[in-house]
Structure 1
Amino acid sequence: MAIFITGGARSGKSGFAEAYAMNLAKRGIYVATSQIWDDEMKERTDHHRVSRERSGFAWQTIEEPYDVAELLVKLEAAAVVVGEGRDHDHDHRRPAVIIDCLTLWLTNQMLRLGEFDANDGESYRYDSGALSAEVNRLIDAVTTYTGPLLLVTNEVGSGIVPAYPLGRRFRDEAGRMNRKLAACCQQAFLVVAGIPLDLKAHAFQLEEE
């Protein structure tokens, strides 16, 4: 079962994802997509790591900033080999996998697939087609994964319009990615002020003619 979890900064989405994972399985795999570039990011990652260690839950942390889709394929294949495949999804034998977070993964991909313009040093160009292919590869991996999977992302389009072009492009790319992910997940939650709201349970459905 794939579970989509979004929210703003410090909304409590990661804490909710971890608590939900503990309810779904007896152990967990935490896929960290962040790369530590400065002291602030190190402080954030240390805070999450200490929180997991104090939970008493059996967490395995895997740092993977780029090849999340390939990692999911490998985890699925390993589960099939040991007999924890599709027929045993709900017996708590498979670990709950958290990917935290996919907007950082998207940032990593945009930086990997682009570069600053050599002429002015400010304009940033990236291969939007290659980025879309990476997102679709992730969607395929999420769709075919049969164990408990929790996808943490950020809702970045609800604030002011970014003042610079790269920020606006990132906002748009993140919005498109989140729509695709939410569509292929069985559950979707918006976490606001620490309160998770079940989006699909309350989604309005247009009547088909």
Structure 2
Amino acid sequence: MAIFITGGARSGKSGFGEAYAMKLSGHGIYIATAQSWDDEMKERTARHRSMRERSGYRWRTIEEPLALAELLGELEREQNDGGERPAVLVDCLTLWLTNWLLRLDAGKQGDGDQDTGTYGELHAEADKLTAAVAAYTGPLLLVTNEVGSGIVPAYPLGRRFRDEAGRLNRKLAATCEEAYLVVAGIPLDLKKHAFRLEED
């Protein structure tokens, strides 16, 4: 069962994801997509890991900034042994997207039309991830950020990130069985309250 969790910064989405994971299984796998580029990020990552360890819940942490689809495929294969499946929590999709954008953008500097190269490759990675999520049969929680509700970014890469994050979130929310928007610490069940045109 795949579960999509979105919300703004400090909305409580990660905490909700962790609490939900604890209800779904007696142990979990925490997939961290962040890359620690500076001391502040290293300290933040260490603090979050320490909080998980103190929770009393058995987390196994895997750091994977890019090969998320491949990792989910590996976990699907290794966990099909008949025992209790761990709850897999990915935190977060927008950091994964950032990692790919920065990697592809750096590789395409001065190469002409980036839309046909860089972003075609990015969309292929997003499709690969969507397929891996659809194929995963254990409890899977995907945390992401809702980034399109503010001002339009002032620079091209920022605008591209906003657009690609919106596309990725739509694609994965449609793939998941459940979808939640966390606002001020309150999770709202999006699919339960969704308006469906075909019912009108």
TM-score, normalised to structure 2, is 0.93
Structure 1 residues 28-80: Cα deviation after superposition (integer angstroms, max 9, x where no partner): 00000000011221232122112101110000000000111001111111122
Q: Aligned partners of 2:27, 2:43: CA distance in 1, in Å?
A: 25
Aligned residue for 1:127, secondary structure, equals helix
2:85 is the alignment partner of 1:94: yes
Aligned-pair CA distance for 1:205: 0.9
Q: Which residue of 2 aligns with 1:190?
A: 181
Q: Within the alignment, does 1:27 sit opposite 2:27 as a pair?
A: yes
Equivalent-residue separation in structure 2 for 1:53 and 1:69 (angstroms): 26
Q: What's the counterpart of residue 46 of structure 1?
A: 46
Aligned to 1:105: 96
Residue aligned with 1:136, SS: helix
Matches within 5 A, 1:52-71: 52-71=52-71
Alpha-carbon RMSD across the aligned residues, in angstroms, is 1.7
Match of 1:63, as an amino acid?
Answer: E
Offset from partner CA, 1:137-175 (integer Å, 9 cap, x none): 000000000000000000000111101111000000000
Indicate the percent of aligned positions where both proteins have the same amino acid.
70
- Spell out structure 1 runs of 4+ moving beyond 4 A: none
Task: Decide which of 143, 146, 152 is 1:161's aligned counterpart.
Answer: 152
Task: Write the mapping of 1:2-13 to structure 2, written as runs, cut at 5 A.
Answer: 2-13=2-13
**Aligned equivalent of 1:75:** 75
- Gaps spanning 5+ residues in structure 1: where? 85-92
Q: Give the 3-state SS of the residue equivalent to 2:170 in structure 1.
A: helix
**Unpaired stretches in structure 2, ≥5 consecutive residues:** none
Corresponding residue for 1:90? none
Q: What is the aligned residue count?
A: 196
Corresponding residue number in structure 2 for 1:174: 165
Distance 1:117 1:196, change over 3 A: same
Q: What residue number does 2:14 align with?
A: 14
Note closer, same or farther for the CA distance 1:208–1:189 as it changes in structure 2 (3 Å cut): closer
TM-score, structure 1 as length reference: 0.89
1:74-102 CA distances to partner (integer Å, 9 max, x unpaired)?
A: 1111122x225xxxxxxxx1100000001
- Residue 148 (structure 1) aligns with: 139
How far residue 118 of structure 1 moved from its aligned partner, in angstroms, is: 5.3
Change in Cα spacing, 1:20 to 1:208, as seen in structure 2 (3 Å) is closer
